[in-house]
Amino acid sequence: MKLALFEDNLFGVITHDGLWDVTEILPQYQTGYAANFWVCMCRDFEELRPKIQALVKRGDGLPLEKVRLRSPVLNPTKVIAAASNYGSHVDEMRDRGAPSSWLLDFDVFLKSPSSIIGPGETIHLPDVQGEIHHESELAVVIGKAGKNISEAEAMGHVLGYTIAIDVTLRGKGDRSRRKSYDGFTPVGPWLVTADEIPDPHALSVKLWVNGQLRQDANTGDMLVKIPGIIAFASSVMTLNPGDLISTGSPPGVGEIHPGDHMAAEISGIGRLEIPVAGKPIPRD
C-alpha cells in the first residue's frame, strides 16, 4: 500500500486510480505542530489496513497532479542516518581528503526532524561557506517500537520505505549540524509498506541534477544491511513508530546550487523531485 500525507496533512492512500482521502479512519487526527496521528498510524497500521482498504474503491480517486503531497514522515521523534554504508562512496570521500577516522567504521548519526521537507517543496540553501551535496538514500520508516532489536527481528519493526535525500554541508565540524539545516532532508513522495517491497536490498537508487544522472546504484551494495542498521541503532536508542532511518548514500555525491533541480528515484517506490533555491527572503 502507498501511504501519503497531502494538503494540510490529510492521510491518503495512492492506487492506480489516484489518491484516496482516508483521514476519517484516524481517531487521533489533528493538524498542527503537535499532531501525533501519523505516529499512531505508523504504530497501528496493520489494524487500520482493512479499514483503509474498505474506503478505497475503484473509480474516483483524486488525480495525483491535483493534490499537494507532503513528506510521508510527520514529527518523527528522530531521523537516524547511516554513515559510510556503501564501499565506493567511502572511497570517493577518502579521495576528497575526508578524515579517515570518519570513514573506516560504519556508524549512525542524527539529523534534525525539522530539516524534513516534502515532494514539490523547495530547498533553500543557507548562505554558508562550503560545498552542499546531495546524497540519495533508501529510507526506512519504523512501525513497531523497540530497543535492542535483534537482526533476526529487525524487519518486523519496519512499516515501509520511502526516498530521502540526505543533503550535506561538507567540511569540518559536527556532522549532525552540517546535515540539519532547514530543508536538508527531502523525503517522499510517499511511504510504500513493506509487503510491497519483498527485497529492499535489490532496489535501484538514482539521482539526477538538472537531468544529469549523478548517482546510480543498487541497495544490494550496502555494507551494513537494514537489519544490521536497525539492530545497531536500537542498541543505542529506542526506535519509535514513525522514526525515519536513512540507510546511507551510494557513490556519486556532488554539489547542488540555487537554480538546480534534483530528482531521486528508487525502484518500487517512486520519484522525488526537489527544486533548489537560494537563501529564503526573510519574512517580516
Binding residues for Mn ion, rule: CB under 5 A, are 135, 166, 249
In whole angstroms, how close is the CB of 223 to Mn ion at the nearest point? 13
Distance CA 190, CA 212 (A): 24
Instruction: Find the residue with minimal CB distance to Mn ion.
Output: 166
Distance CA 28, CA 214 (A): 41
CB of 13 or CB of 165, closer to Mn ion: 165
CB of 26 or CB of 209, closer to Mn ion: 209
Question: How far lies 104's CA from each of 107, 168, 222, in Å?
Answer: 9, 19, 14
CB of 159 or CB of 165, closer to Mn ion: 165
CA end-to-end span of the chain, whole Å? 42
Kindly tell me the sign of the dihedral angle through the C-alpha atoms of 151, 152, 155, 157.
Answer: negative
Q: What's the grid cell of residue 54?
A: 474498505
In whole angstroms, how close is the CB of 111 to Mn ion at the nearest point? 9
CB of 135 or CB of 265, closer to Mn ion: 135
CB of 121 or CB of 166, closer to Mn ion: 166
- Strand (E) or helix (H) holding 186: strand 185-193
In whole angstroms, how close is the CB of 28 to Mn ion at the nearest point? 32
In whole angstroms, how close is the CB of 267 to Mn ion at the nearest point? 19
Distance CA 182, CA 153 (A): 34
Q: What's the grid cell of residue 148?
A: 535492542
Distance CA 9, CA 11 (A): 6
In whole angstroms, how close is the CB of 167 to Mn ion at the nearest point? 9
CB of 14 or CB of 108, closer to Mn ion: 108
In whole angstroms, how close is the CB of 164 to Mn ion at the nearest point? 8
Q: What's the grid cell of residue 154?
A: 529487525
Contacts of 260 (CB under 8 A, 6+ apart): 209, 210, 275, 276
